[in-house]
């Protein structure tokens, strides 16, 4: 990293989080760096876990400065007075754009985004001597594409909603892995379940029948439905054309459904 042995002034934007490497534990935090007027990732050794605090202003000496800022065992950290910050730039970083899965797959790497999609799979926590992570597979609400979200370090231990829920993963960093786009968590990442209810109507375009909960496609959206409710609508478990339905869902899980007459709806 360029610029070793320099001093910088920082404003801390996040709580610190622990990470692991072959050399042991270390900590990271997001900070605003005064000289470049930009948001950077701060790396600090374990001995400094209680030195850096969120919303604090600090003067750091003996650091390396480049794309990120690295503190060392012999670096010195001083509390200091406030300095002017670029609130617009900070808010833009703290509140990245909310995008669909399809949009994220077209994003350039190193960009920070929030993504909304259907949780299709959540792995167990995967641990190695150098890292700890959990992988989530988010599918687009249209069912046309998916992306892997990797939750690293402390983020891997957050509560994850059940599969089939619509999630928003905030402040994820776009990266590439094995030729494809993936998303990595940051110290600002939050996983939130979308709870809003909405109505739907249209022709059933496809079904996937499973023992307890099945899936159906209406207006290109894949929704989870109790298999008993789907059997009631279809009078069985075999797909039929020209079956029109309307109902209400929470996220992408069907709460109410009934068959309807599309011709009658047009007259209304």
Identify the CATH number of the domain in which residue 114 sits: 2.40.50.140
Same-domain status, 120 and 143 = yes
If DSSP states are collapsed to H, E and C, what string results for 101-142? HHHHCCCCCCCEEEEEEEEEEECCCEECCCCEEEEEEEECCC
Same-domain status, 170 and 217 = no
Structural domain including 66 reads 4-88
Same-domain status, 145 and 120 = yes
Longest dimension (CA), the chain: 78
Among residues 88, 113, 140, which one ends one of the domains? 88
Total domains present in the chain: 3
Same-domain status, 127 and 182 = yes
Same-domain status, 188 and 204 = no
Among residues 63, 88, 113, which one ends one of the domains? 88
In the structure encoding, which two tokens stand for residue 190, read together? 């939050």
Q: What is the pLDDT of residue 267?
A: 39
Residues in CB range of 238: below 8 A, 6 or more apart = none
Q: What is the pLDDT of residue 3?
A: 53
Q: What is the pLDDT of residue 80?
A: 97
Q: What is the pLDDT of residue 21?
A: 79
Same-domain status, 16 and 53 = yes
For CA atoms 244, 248, 250, 256, the dihedral sign is negative
Same-domain status, 105 and 177 = yes
Q: What is the pLDDT of residue 129?
A: 81
pLDDT per position in the chain (268 positions), as tens? Answer: 455 679 999 999 999 998 887 778 899 999 999 999 999 999 999 999 899 999 999 999 999 998 899 999 999 999 999 999 999 999 999 999 999 999 999 999 999 999 999 898 999 999 988 889 999 999 987 777 999 999 999 999 998 887 878 899 999 999 999 899 999 999 999 999 887 788 999 999 999 999 999 989 998 888 889 999 999 999 999 999 999 999 998 877 899 999 998 775 443 4
Same-domain status, 114 and 181 = yes
What is d(CA 179, CA 7) in angstroms, rounded to the nearest whole number? 38
Is 44 strand, coil or helix?
A: strand
Same-domain status, 235 and 213 = yes
Is 238 strand, coil or helix?
A: coil
Same-domain status, 70 and 108 = no
Q: What is the pLDDT of residue 98?
A: 94
Exposed/middle/buried for 102, CB within 10 Å: 0-12, 13-18, 19+? middle
Measuring CA to CA, how many Å separate 151 from each of 41, 83, 98, 116, 172?
A: 17, 33, 18, 15, 9
Exposed/middle/buried for 3, CB within 10 Å: 0-12, 13-18, 19+? exposed
Same-domain status, 81 and 150 = no
- Residue 121 has φ and ψ, to the nearest 5°, of -155, 140
Q: In DSSP terms, which residues pair with 232 in a beta bridge?
A: none
Among residues 169, 193, 217, which one ends one of the domains? 193
Residues in CB range of 94: below 8 A, 6 or more apart = 13, 171, 188
Whole-model pTM: value is 0.72
What is d(CA 98, CA 95) in angstroms, rounded to the nearest whole number? 9
Same-domain status, 163 and 209 = no
């Amino acid at each position: 990293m360029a610029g070793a042995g320099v001093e910088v002034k920082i404003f801390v934007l996040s709580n610190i989080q622990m990470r692991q490497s072959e050399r042991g534990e270390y900590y990271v935090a997001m900070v605003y760096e005064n000289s470049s007027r930009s948001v950077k990732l701060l790396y600090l050794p374990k001995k400094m876990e209680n030195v850096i605090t969120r919303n604090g202003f600090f003067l750091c000496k003996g650091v390396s400065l480049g794309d990120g800022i690295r503190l060392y065992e012999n670096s010195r950290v001083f509390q200091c007075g406030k300095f002017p910050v670029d609130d617009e730039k900070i808010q833009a970083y703290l509140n990245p754009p909310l995008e669909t899965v399809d949009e994220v797959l077209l994003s350039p790497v190193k960009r920070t985004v929030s993504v909304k999609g259907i949780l299709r799979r959540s792995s167990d926590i995967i641990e190695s001597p150098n890292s700890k992570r959990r992988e989530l597979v988010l599918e687009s609400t249209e069912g046309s594409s998916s992306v892997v979200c990797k939750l690293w370090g402390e983020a891997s231990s957050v509560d994850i909603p059940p599969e089939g829920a619509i999630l928003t993963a905030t402040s994820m960093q776009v990266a590439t892995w094995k030729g494809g786009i993936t998303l990595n968590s940051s110290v600002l990442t939050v996983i939130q379940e979308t709870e809003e209810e909405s109505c739907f109507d249209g022709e059933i375009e496809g079904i996937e029948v499973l023992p307890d909960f099945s899936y159906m496609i209406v207006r290109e959206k894949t929704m989870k439905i109790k298999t008993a409710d789907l059997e009631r609508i279809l009078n069985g478990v075999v797909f039929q054309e020209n079956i029109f339905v309307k109902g209400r869902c929470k996220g992408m899980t069907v709460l109410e459904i009934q068959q309807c007459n599309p011709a009658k709806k047009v007259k209304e």
